[in-house]
């Protein structure tokens, strides 16, 4: 029996406030709602997910480092750390896993400082502007990447 692929879904600072934080930008769904959507999609894709959130940069870095030996890919909404964290970028690079960067809002329709990402250079792809549905798109994309890796014997 094949081992079920595993994906780490990481959420950065302030995402625990979804549903009450600027709903016109981020929507009314809570992080728990997004986790439930992800669990449902992951089950349909035969993927296990480990869904986490932290407001602490160092904790996110530690989880990314641990993912190297425990997961087959990472979905990351780094929140504001997207625009500031070289430490997260370096951890993602060292993890050597496929990464999909997710943002609820279209960062390119917002303030100029949000247009730069330290995650993008080490990500396979970026999904932004689709709200919670972006996480499901990321799971679909990562499932295809993992399947391709497994098919190639990686």
Q: What is the pLDDT of residue 21?
A: 84
Side by side, which strands form the sheet with 73-77? Answer: 48-53, 6-11, 73-77, 99-103, 125-128
Asked, for residue 140, whether it belongs to a domain, the answer is: yes
Among 71, 81, 103, 118, the active-site one is: 103
Residues making up the annotated binding site are 77, 83, 90, 104-105, 114
Please, what sign has the CA dihedral across residues 86, 64, 32, 3? positive
Q: State pLDDT tens for residues 74-89.
A: 999 999 999 999 999 9
Asked, for residue 57, whether it belongs to a domain, the answer is: yes
Asked, for residue 53, whether it belongs to a domain, the answer is: yes
Among 26, 81, 118, 135, the active-site one is: 26
Q: Are strands 48-53 and 73-77 parallel, antiparallel or unpaired?
A: unpaired
Asked, for residue 102, whether it belongs to a domain, the answer is: yes
Known active-site residue 71: no
Stated pTM of the model: 0.92
Asked, for residue 154, whether it belongs to a domain, the answer is: no
Known active-site residue 103: yes
The whole domain housing 39 covers 6-149
The number of distinct structural domains making up the chain is 1
The chain-wide mean pLDDT, for the chain, equals: 92
Asked, for residue 1, whether it belongs to a domain, the answer is: no
Give Cα 84 distance to the centre of its chain.
Answer: 16
Which CATH number does the domain housing residue 115 bear?
Answer: 3.40.50.9100
Q: State pLDDT tens for residues 45-75.
A: 999 999 999 999 999 999 999 999 999 999 9
Residues making up the annotated binding site for substrate are 77, 83, 90, 104-105, 114
Q: Which residues contact residue 28 at a Cβ distance below 8 angstroms, ignoring those fewer than 6 apart?
A: 19
């Amino acid at each position: 029996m094949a081992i079920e692929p595993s994906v780490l879904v990481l959420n950065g600072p302030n995402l625990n406030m979804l549903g009450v934080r600027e709903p016109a930008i981020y929507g009314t769904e809570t992080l728990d709602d997004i986790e439930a959507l992800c669990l449902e999609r992951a089950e349909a894709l035969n993927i296990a997910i480990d869904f986490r959130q932290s407001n602490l940069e160092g904790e996110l870095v530690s989880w990314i480092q641990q993912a190297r030996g425990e997961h087959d890919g990472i979905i990351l909404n780094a929140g504001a750390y997207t625009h500031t964290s070289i430490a997260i970028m370096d951890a993602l690079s060292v993890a050597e896993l496929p990464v999909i960067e997710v943002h609820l809002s279209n960062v390119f329709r917002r303030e100029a400082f949000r247009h730069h990402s330290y995650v993008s250079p080490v990500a396979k792809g970026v999904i932004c502007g689709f709200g919670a549905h972006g996480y499901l798109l990321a799971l679909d994309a990562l499932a295809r990447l993992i399947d391709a890796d497994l098919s190639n014997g990686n």
